[in-house]
Amino acid sequence: MVGGKSAKMERIIGTDELQSGERRSVFVDDIPALVIRIEGDYFVVEDVCSHDGQPLTNGLIQDCSIICPRHAARFDLKSGKALCMPATDPIRVFRTEIRDGAVWADVS
Ligand code: FES
């Protein structure tokens, strides 16, 4: 890459290890995270609600968003943006790539 930093990618999970609608708890760069498959798309997000630290592990997934099980803040899985109160800050999302039959996350 010219004039930029190359991405540091970490292998997360085989693409065939999740069916659409399923999720798996993983660690990404030693951070607890969730990998979620929605049809052919895979999302990797930090598994910590930005409102009060609740794990999002068992949150309802709806319309490409995840709902915190504690106070029902909702986060966009693509951008991490908080879509409703009580959260105002985003959650971290990792850019993903599909390669060699696996999902990779950008941890740079
Ligand atoms: S801890 Fe998630 S909405 Fe409050």
What is the tens place of the pLDDT at every residue in 61-79?
999 999 999 999 999 999 9
Longest distance between any two alpha carbons in the chain, whole Å = 45
**Cα dist from 80 to 2, 33, 101, whole Å:** 28, 13, 25
Percent of the chain with pLDDT over 90: 94
CATH architecture of the domain 19-106 equals 3-layer Sandwich (2.102)
Task: For ligand 1, pick from 34, 45, 46, 49 the residue to mutate: most ligand atoms within 8 Å of CB.
Answer: 49
| CA triple 108-23-30, angle to 5 deg | 35
Judged by DSSP in three states, 17 sits in helix
Task: Give the three-class secondary structure for 87.
Answer: coil
Tell how far the Cα of 68 is from the centroid of ligand 1, in angstroms. Answer: 6
Dihedral sign, Cα of residue 37, residue 77, residue 93, residue 75:
negative
What ligand 1 atom has the least distance to the C-alpha of 71?
Answer: 3
Report domain extents, the chain. Answer: 19-106
Looking at the predicted structure, is the pLDDT value of residue 53 above 70?
yes
Instruction: Encode pLDDT of 25-45 as tens digits.
Output: 999 999 999 999 999 999 999
Task: Give the mutation target among 52, 58, 60, 88 for probing the ligand 1 site: most ligand atoms within 8 A of CB.
Answer: 52
